Structure 1
């Protein structure tokens, strides 16, 4: 079995890669979710699957692991969607 990531920087890089894949494979859902301000509802299943995968690869002792995944969602998915027209901007 592979060793779990216990370095916050490496864990954040992993989180960004996972969220990047979610955004890439769900571009229409991201656009719709930003446009209608319901991105977390639209991507509930995908984000849960991504978070579960992240948790399976990162040590539970890493206190900030949930924060790192949430930050990756904002950095990768939300910020990059800033060019999508929406009432939330």
Structure 2
């Protein structure tokens, strides 16, 4: 088995890359989810798959591992969607 990522900065970069791929392959869901404030419902399956992939690649001993993935979702998917009309902003 390959070594797992133990560096928090590398783990965060991995999380951002995974979330970027999800956003890249699901632009309609991202736009609709931002517009209707249900992005987590619309992308639940994709985000869960991404989270599982992240967990497989990152050491369980890394502090705040789950928060790194959540922060990547906000940084990559939510902040970059600021140009989309929505009642949430």
* TM-score, structure 1 as length reference: 0.99
Tell me, in whole angstroms, the C-alpha distance in 2 between the residues paired with 1:17 and 1:67.
Answer: 15
Q: Quote the residue 1:60 is aligned against.
A: 60
RMSD in angstroms over aligned alpha carbons?
A: 0.4
Runs of at least 5 residues in structure 2 that lack an aligned partner in the other structure: none
Q: Is 2:84 the counterpart of 1:75?
A: no
Q: Quote the residue 1:40 is aligned against.
A: 40
- 1:64 deviation in Å? 1.0
Tell me, in whole angstroms, the C-alpha distance in 2 between the residues paired with 1:64 and 1:7.
Answer: 12
Runs of at least 5 residues in structure 1 that lack an aligned partner in the other structure: none
- Secondary structure of the corresponding residue to residue 82 of structure 2: helix
Tell me, in whole angstroms, the C-alpha distance in 1 between the residues paired with 2:83 and 2:43.
Answer: 19
Equivalent pairs counted in the alignment come to 89
Q: Quote the residue 2:4 is aligned against.
A: 4
State the 4+ residue runs in structure 1 displaced beyond 4 angstroms: none
